[in-house]
Structures are given as structure tokens and as C-alpha cells.
Amino acid sequence: MNRVLGSKLWTKSFMAVSMCSFFIYLNVYMLSTAIPLYVKDALHGSEQQMGLAITLWSIGVVALRLLSGRWMDRYSLNMLSVWSIAVFLLGSSLYFGAAGIGFLLVVRMLHGGSFAVASTSTSTLAMRIIPDERKGEGISYFSLFMSVSMVLGPACGIYLWDKFEKGTVLFVVSAIVSGLALLCLLLVPSSKGVITSFKTHKRGKPAWRELVEPKVLPISLAGFMLSFSYSSLTSFISSYTEELNQAGMAGWFFIVFALIMMLSRLLVGRVYDRWGAGCIVYPGVCFFAIGMLALSVERSSMVLLLSAAVLGLGHGVLFPVFQTIAVEGISRKRRGIATSTFLLLFDIGFGAGSFVLGWIAAGAGYRTMFSIAGMTVLLSAAIYFWMVRPLAVSNPKPEEEIQSIQ
């Protein structure tokens, strides 16, 4: 695809919103690895309470994700982003006062809800900044910043928890990181053309179409299947490596996974813009399924790392492609809702996968669980072939052009 004038990607605004997203996800990944340890060691909580701290975070994310798209398309996108990250900063700061498990659980819900709005609004803001003719490339680079946080976040969280007692330094650093996210966002100029129209029911309640974009449900369902399968890695790899008497391999697994995912996202956008989604989706699904099946049949450390690389390649190409498909063919005023719809089903898939696959692991073992996770992700390819691909042909791109914020 030939580049045209005005198609500059690496603008100050794009860099600022990408760094903002990096700091948001760095905060989340730092705390996601350390909070269960904080509940167990500092608050002397049970395993059920450790799980509840994760569950309530997810409930906050899903509840606010559902509303975030409607808010973005009703109010100023920049203003909503600033306020949501400000609340995200507040949530990070409140961990200092979490001396009891009850208060911590409330903070987790607040933090998760603010993350849902902040991550959705910054992703939508990035899509408005990225030129349409470089949409695939731009989204893959934007998601690359999230991938870097996946490498640094868990390692930083575990290091700060192990190095300093009671999590005080960890919470200080997480609050500083949230503040940096807010600072980066303030460098992005306010976008014009704020949507003010808003359909409601007769009783003043928003129509369901103002909460969910029906056009992106098929690709969101494919994302649900990917997230369902992916949850088995983040939730159970540490326990699986302990079962194999290779506890030290869990960290290396995620490092290899994240590094390969980062490298794949450097290339996937250009491939998408030139050859389309089909040549990426099918190989990506196959890579992810093969990686899962490799985990289920082999126990050596070398195979663990090889499977991490294959899984990182699969996830690295699939997530940005699915997210790009979700906003293609969607009008400017509906892209916020489209983004929140896709991320909502992705979040639900992650939560459902953690529960269902955990239940399977408890009853049938990790090998069976990873086998089922590998077969589940194959449904993403089937959904793409039967439900998404036909829509891409029948639904042309919207006529209006989206102005880039330079």
C-alpha cells in the first residue's frame, strides 16, 4: 500500500499516548504478580482471599469496560482519559492504606474499574491518531508498548516484593508509574469533533447499542476464545513448573514469551496492511495451538522455552490483528464502543478461562488443561472463517476520514 501525505505515524501525540499505555500496563503487571503475595504474607489471607483479590479486580474491569465505550462517544475522549487515569492513580495510592483484606478488595475493584476506562480510552485515542492507511502497522506498534510492560512488569513486581518488606516500596513505585501515565497523556493535544448525540430509551436509559457494537461481536468472540486459552498461561504456568520441579523456569517462560511477542508485533502491522488479515490469523492460531499442545505432552525445560516462543509468536500476531479488525469498517463516532466491546469480551474470556481451566486442572491435571486450551483457541480460526471474513467483504470501510492529531 502506497503511503500518502499526512500518513506520518511517529508523531509526538502517538508517542505520548503509547508511553501512557506502557505505564498503565506496567502498573497493572507489577501489581498482578505481587498482590496475591501481599494478601498471603502481609495480610495473612487464605487462598480463597488471594483468588478473590483477582476476581474482584476482573469484576471491576468488566463492569466499567461495558460503560466506557458509551462514555467515550458521549464525552471528550481526552477528558475521559485524563479523569480515568487520575482515578487509576488514586487507586494505586490507596494500596498504602490497605491494612485489612476488606479494604484491599474495595481498592482492587476501584483500580480495576479505572483501568478498564483508562485502557479503553487510550486505545481509542491511539486509533484516532493513527492514519487510516497505516492502521494495522500503527496498532501493532501501539500494542508493542504493552508487550514491553509484560516483560518488565512482573519482574519488577516480584523484585520489589522480595527486596523490600511489606510492599511499601512496591506501592510507591506503582503510584509513581501511574503518575507518569497521567503526565504522558497531558502531552496529547485535545481532539476535535466530540460526539454529543446520544440515543436513549424513553425512560432515559441508554439503548443497548450504545453499550455494545453489534458489528464487532464476531471478531470479539474470536478474541474471547484466544483470551480463554491464554488465561491458562498467566494463571497456571508457575504452578505447572513447580509440579515439574522446575520452578525457576516460570520467569524464563514469560521472558521468552514476551520477547518473541514483541518481535512479532514489529512485523505484523506491515504484513496486515499489505496482504490482509487472513494470512496472519490462520498461522497465528496454529502457532498458539501447537504451543499449548507442546506444553501438554513434554516436561523438559527446553520444550517449555520453545513452547513459550511459539505461544508468544501466536499471541503477538493475533491480538493486534483482532483489534484492528474490530475498528475497521466502523464509523468514527462508534469506534470507542467498538473498542470497548472487543476488550470487554477479551476480559470476560480471560476471567472465564481462569475459572473453567482451573477447575479442569484440579480434576484432570495440567496436561489435560493445556490440551483443552490448545483445542479451544482453534475455534478462533473457525469463527474468523465463518463469521468474520464474510462481514469484511460485505461491510465496506466508512466514507468519512479520521483526522490525525499531529
Q: Note the pLDDT of residue 179.
A: 96
Choice among 7-16, 177-186, 329-338 with the minimum mean pLDDT: 329-338
Report, as an integer, the average pLDDT of 2-16.
Answer: 72
Secondary structure (H, E, C), the chain: CCCCCCCCCCCHHHHHHHHHHHHHHHHHHHHHHHHHHHHHHHCCCCHHHHHHHHHHHHHHHHHHHHHHHHHHHHCCHHHHHHHHHHHHHHHHHHHHHCCCHHHHHHHHHHHHHHHHHHHHHHHHHHHHHCCHHHHHHHHHHHHHHHHHHHHHHHHHHHHHHHHCHHHHHHHHHHHHHHHHHHHHHCCCCCCCCCCCCCCECCCCCECHHHCCCHHHHHHHHHHHHHHHHHHHHHHHHHHHHHHCCCCCHHHHHHHHHHHHHHHHHHHHHHHHHHHCCHHHHHHHHHHHHHHHHHHHHCCCHHHHHHHHHHHHHHHHHHHHHHHHHHHCCCCHHHHHHHHHHHHHHHHHHHHHHHHHHHHHHHHHCHHHHHHHHHHHHHHHHHHHHHHHHHHHHHCCCCCCCCCCCC
Q: Note the pLDDT of residue 86.
A: 96
pTM score, whole prediction: 0.73
Q: Note the pLDDT of residue 47.
A: 58
Report, as an integer, the average pLDDT of 99-128.
Answer: 89
Q: Note the pLDDT of residue 389.
A: 79
Q: Note the pLDDT of residue 53.
A: 77
Q: How far apart are the first and last CA of the chain?
A: 22
Q: Which of 85, 115, 17 is closest to 340 using CA atoms?
A: 115
Is residue 203 scored above 80 in pLDDT?
A: no
377 touches 285 (CB < 8 A): yes
Is residue 52 scored above 80 in pLDDT?
A: no
Distance CA 37, CA 162 (A): 10
Residue of 343 and 281 predicted with greater confidence = 281
Q: Which residues, listed in sequence order, are joined to residue 206 by a DSSP beta bridge?
A: 200
Under the banding of pLDDT at 50, 70 and 90, the label for residue 193 is very low
Q: Write down the residue that cell numbers 477447575 correspond to.
A: 359
Dihedral, CA of residue 242, residue 247, residue 252 and residue 255, to nearest 10: 60
Report, as an integer, the average pLDDT of 80-95.
Answer: 93
**Three cell numbers at 31?**
501489581
Choice among 109-123, 169-183, 235-249, 355-369 with the minimum mean pLDDT: 235-249
Residue of 210 and 253 predicted with greater confidence = 253
Q: Note the pLDDT of residue 370.
A: 93
Q: Note the pLDDT of residue 166.
A: 67
Residue of 62 and 211 predicted with greater confidence = 62
Q: Note the pLDDT of residue 48.
A: 63
What proportion of the chain, given as a percentage, has pLDDT over 90? Answer: 30
Q: Which domains does the chain have, with CATH numbers?
A: 9-191 (1.20.1250.20), 208-395 (1.20.1250.20)
Under the banding of pLDDT at 50, 70 and 90, the label for residue 306 is very high
Q: Which residues, listed in sequence order, are joined to residue 200 by a DSSP beta bridge?
A: 206
Q: Note the pLDDT of residue 395.
A: 53
pLDDT tens across 216-226, in order? 999 999 999 99
Is residue 321 scored above 70 in pLDDT?
A: yes
Is residue 123 scored above 70 in pLDDT?
A: yes
Q: Note the pLDDT of residue 226.
A: 95
Residue of 337 and 260 predicted with greater confidence = 260
Under the banding of pLDDT at 50, 70 and 90, the label for residue 73 is low
Distance CA 123, CA 120 (A): 5
Is residue 399 scored above 50 in pLDDT?
A: no
Residue 272 CA, chain-centre distance (Å), reads: 20
Is residue 36 scored above 50 in pLDDT?
A: yes
Instruction: Compute CA distances 247 → 172, 175, 394, whole Å.
Output: 29, 30, 50
Calculate Rg over the CA atoms of the chain: 20
Average pLDDT, the chain: 81
pLDDT tens across 252-302, in order? 888 888 889 888 888 887 788 788 888 899 999 999 999 999 998 877 888
**Three cell numbers at 213?**
457494537
Report, as an integer, the average pLDDT of 131-139.
Answer: 79
